Amino acid sequence: MSTAPESRPFRFGLVIDSRNTTRDEVIELGRRAEGAGIAILLGTDHLGRWATLPLLQSAAEATSLRIGTFVLNNDLRHPAVLAQVLTTIDAMTDGRLEVGIGAGWNRPEYEAAGMTFDPPPLRLARMRASVGMLKQAMRDGRIDHTGDRAYPEIHQEGLVTSTQRPHPPILIGGGGPRLLAYAAREANIIGLDPRSLPEGGADPEDVTEAAIDRKVAWIREAAGARWSELELNIAIFDPATRPLPKDAMTLSPHYLLGESDQIVETLVARRERWGISYIALRPDQLDRMSAVIPHLA
């Protein structure tokens, strides 16, 4: 039986900082997270730092936690190659992988690597095509893709399928109506993110209470009966690095203010209002949240 988002059990993820770290530090952080009640370790996907997939696999080998990509930049990997990597990691971790994927947003990163930062419609078309191929590969062991503007014709048979059936949970995040509607139809988990700007980057204003109201309404409308199967995720921001006016920050689900008891009440109220039950934290938030997580997770 599916659990509606408004009553789904809470779970907490911890985003690993893949800059200036070591294997021992990652494993130590993973063990701290496990002891604090974290359910899943998450890795971002950027050039110029440790690669997220091997880093997460190392953490999975040292803990019993699930691991997830938060999120993979689709443009950095061909879907046929990515499917092979993901099914391998899913097998090596005994089915503990979750796959977050996005269309790419960091324009300076593209340009530094000599990659073309295509307009949003083309990047989104590639991501949608890739998600379809990943699902088919992990579920059925084959890819049948008719050539289009996203990818050329691809036909592969005899691929390795995933340990989790029909495939690992898929997370798609976004902030615009078209992307969130697509996620509502195709994803298992939806990340409520600031909308990406056409020129690259994210809209810093798209994190308010009203913005979340709009996004959840778009998801509910597009999901229809699938609403009861979805899990809604949100990342908690650092007020010092992503400030808002105090009143707006108090009401935005991207921020957690106050003492432990107040945070518990706030998260329960946000789940009842918006269906948000999956909370992604940063390492510097772990100690503060260690008193909250046992009450909810």
Q: Any residues with CB less than 8 A from the CB of 48 and at least 6 apart, and which? A: 109, 112
Per-residue pLDDT, 19: 86
Q: Any residues with CB less than 8 A from the CB of 295 and at least 6 apart, and which? A: 260, 264
Give the range of the structural domain holding residue 127, as residue numbers without chain letter.
5-296
Q: Residue 99, preceding bond cis, omega within 30 degrees?
A: no
**Could you read off the pLDDT of 238-288 as tens digits, one per residue?**
999 998 898 999 999 999 999 999 999 999 999 999 999 999 999 999 999
Number of CB atoms found within 10 A of residue 83's CB: 27
- For position 254, which CATH number holds? 3.20.20.30
H or E segment and range at residue 185 = helix 177-186
* Percentage of the residues of the chain whose pLDDT score is greater than 90: 87
Distance CA 83, CA 133 (A): 8
| Weakly modelled stretches of the chain, pLDDT under 70 | 1-2
Per the structure, the count of domains in the chain is: 1
* Percentage of the residues of the chain whose pLDDT score is greater than 70: 99
**Could you read off the pLDDT of 91-115 as tens digits, one per residue?**
999 999 999 999 999 999 999 999 9
Q: Any residues with CB less than 8 A from the CB of 82 and at least 6 apart, and which? A: 72, 130, 134
